């Protein structure tokens, strides 16, 4: 799980000492020492999140304010997404694209009125901040929030727990945002997450993060959850992991993210193109693509992991697995990957090559587990 040279000193999030005190197994991840699991283990952490509420430390991710009246229009020059008409108090999924139509990173953008709040992936943080500074600094202020931690409270009990701390959050629905006081700290929150469950992401001042985490963990429904279960939860929910299911050589259309490409930014929209790689991406929307991201259900108990080749009945390579593992909710292996578009239809039988042997897999729709976002 590491993309950090072993000689580089690992950074610590504000919750490092708490993780250690809770018995977490710490691993290098995106330059940080992060908890991969706690003593209960990944499967119990996974099932606890699906049935109650899990608390995740995602403070390694990047948090940025884009400040000024032109921030939305400026950001639209970098993403194929409608930011100008993003309603106040709402959040939207977005993508930084490159000149060849590939994905540099995926991110979340929230409209806080006089500013946009942007959250980017940890492994891409330095690149994304440099990208925004290079292209946006002349049109808005790019303010990196190095003094804040980020927590995620996820699961069917998350709403009830959050309402005890801040009753006004009960009226929030999926992808809405608010500024609330939690454990005496001003927090920026969104009702969203990366598990397929209801939940909240909470930006909190770094010096208040430990107190807030302990407050949340004091509720009987809440348990600490590590990166291992975070990965299995997002995989069951059919959600992409940057650097695995998304990369600079793959367009959003190939990635089956057409839903994220806002209609006003498409060829027949109000503000077509105008972002890096627009000609390629609009061409993919109009003319189709040769390969697509799909869900895969192995037909044996053998986990099919990233990098496994996918072949057809004749043994011809037709794709590759980009994420895979055991789905505890399904009690079965699940995977996703890219296949030739002609083979992307659910029900298509293929094989994955695991340790030199073919394992039958079936192309399937996603998510593997029904998403339970709270929509009111």
Domain membership of residue 359 (yes or no) is yes
Furthest-apart CA pair in the chain: how many Å? 63
Give tens-digit pLDDT for 304-350.
Answer: 999 999 999 999 999 999 999 999 999 999 999 999 999 999 999 99
DSSP-derived pairing of the beta strands 222-224 and 53-57: parallel
For residue 302, what is the domain's CATH number?
2.40.30.110
Mean pLDDT computed over 82-104? 98
Together in a domain, 332 and 221: no
Residue with tokens 């192309």: 363
Contact (Cβ atoms closer than 8 angstroms) between residue 177 and residue 112: yes
Domain boundary among 196, 221, 236: 236
Domain membership of residue 329 (yes or no) is yes
Domain membership of residue 214 (yes or no) is yes
For residue 32, what is the domain's CATH number?
3.30.1360.120
Euclidean distance between the first and the last CA atom of the chain, given in angstroms as a whole number: 36
pTM above 0.85, yes or no: yes
Together in a domain, 312 and 164: no
Q: How far apart are CA 114 and CA 65, in angstroms?
A: 10
3-state SS track over the chain = CCCCCCCCCCECCCCHHHHHHCCCEEEEECCEEEEEECCCCHHHHHHHHHHCEEEEECCCCEEEEEECCCHHHHHCCCCCCCCCCCCCCEEEEEEEECCCCCEEEEEEEEECCCEEEEEECHHHHHHHHHHHHHHHCCCCEEEECCCEEEEEEECCCHHHHHHHHCHHHHHCCCCEEEEEEECCEEEEEECCCCCCCCEEEEEEEHHHHHHHHHHHHCCCCEEECCHHHHHHHHHHCCCCCECCCECCCCCCCCCCCHHHCCHHHCCCCCCCCCCCCHHHHHHHHHHCCCEEEEEEEECCCCCCCCCCEEECCCCCEEEEEEEEEEECCCCEEEEEEEEEHHHCCCCCEEEEEECCEEEEEEEECCCCCCCCCCCC
Domain membership of residue 31 (yes or no) is yes
Give tens-digit pLDDT for 265-280.
Answer: 999 999 999 999 999 9
Together in a domain, 152 and 226: yes
Together in a domain, 338 and 215: no
Query: What region does 303 belong to: left with phi over 0, alpha with psi -120 to 50, or beta?
Result: beta
Together in a domain, 305 and 195: no
Provide the number of structural domains found in the chain. Answer: 2
Q: Which domain holds residue 337?
A: 290-368
Q: How far apart are CA 181 and CA 194, in angstroms?
A: 23
Of the ranges 2-11, 248-257, 284-293, which one carries the lowest mean pLDDT score? Answer: 2-11
The alpha carbons of the chain give a radius of gyration, in whole angstroms, of 20
Give tens-digit pLDDT for 20-71.
Answer: 999 999 999 999 999 999 999 999 999 999 999 999 999 999 999 999 999 9
Domain membership of residue 279 (yes or no) is no
Instruction: Quote the tokens at residue 127.
Output: 């690149």
Together in a domain, 23 and 162: yes
In the prediction, which pLDDT does 8 show?
79
Contact (Cβ atoms closer than 8 angstroms) between residue 57 and residue 158: no
User: Does 4 have pLDDT greater than 70?
Assistant: no
């Amino acid at each position: 799980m590491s993309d950090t040279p072993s000689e580089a000193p690992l950074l610590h999030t504000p919750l490092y000492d708490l993780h250690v005190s809770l018995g977490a197994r710490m691993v290098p991840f995106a330059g940080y020492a992060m908890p991969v699991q706690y003593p209960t283990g990944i499967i119990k952490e996974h099932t606890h999140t699906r049935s109650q509420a899990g608390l995740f430390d995602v403070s390694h991710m990047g948090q940025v304010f884009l400040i000024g009246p032109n921030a939305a229009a400026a950001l639209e020059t970098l993403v194929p997404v409608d930011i100008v008409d993003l309603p106040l108090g709402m959040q939207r999924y977005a993508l930084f694209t490159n000149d060849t139509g590939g994905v540099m990173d995926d991110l979340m953008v929230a409209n806080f009125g006089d500013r946009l709040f942007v959250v980017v992936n940890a492994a891409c943080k330095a690149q994304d901040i440099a990208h925004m500074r290079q292209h946006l600094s002349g049109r808005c202020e790019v303010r990196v929030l190095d003094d804040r931690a980020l927590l995620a409270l996820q699961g069917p009990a998350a709403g009830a727990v959050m309402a005890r701390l801040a009753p006004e959050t009960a009226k929030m629905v999926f992808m809405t945002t608010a500024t609330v006081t939690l454990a005496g700290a001003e927090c920026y929150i969104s009702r969203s997450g990366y598990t397929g469950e209801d939940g909240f992401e909470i930006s909190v001042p770094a010096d208040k993060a430990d107190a807030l985490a302990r407050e949340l963990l004091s509720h009987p429904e809440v348990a600490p959850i590590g990166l291992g279960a975070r990965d299995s939860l997002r995989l069951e929910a059919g959600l992409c992991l940057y650097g695995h299911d998304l990369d600079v050589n793959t367009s959003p259309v190939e990635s089956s993210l057409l839903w994220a490409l806002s209609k006003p930014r498409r060829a027949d929209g109000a503000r077509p193109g105008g972002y890096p790689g627009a000609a390629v991406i609009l061409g993919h929307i109009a003319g189709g693509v040769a390969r697509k991201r799909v869900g895969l259900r192995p037909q044996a108990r053998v986990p099919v992991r990233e990098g496994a080749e996918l072949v057809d009945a004749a043994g011809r390579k037709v794709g590759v697995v980009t994420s895979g593992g055991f789905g505890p909710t399904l009690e079965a292996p699940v995977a996703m990957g890219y296949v030739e578009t002609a083979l992307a239809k659910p029900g298509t039988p293929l094989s994955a090559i695991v340790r030199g042997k073919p394992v039958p897999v079936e192309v399937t729709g996603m998510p593997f587990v029904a998403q339970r976002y709270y929509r009111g």
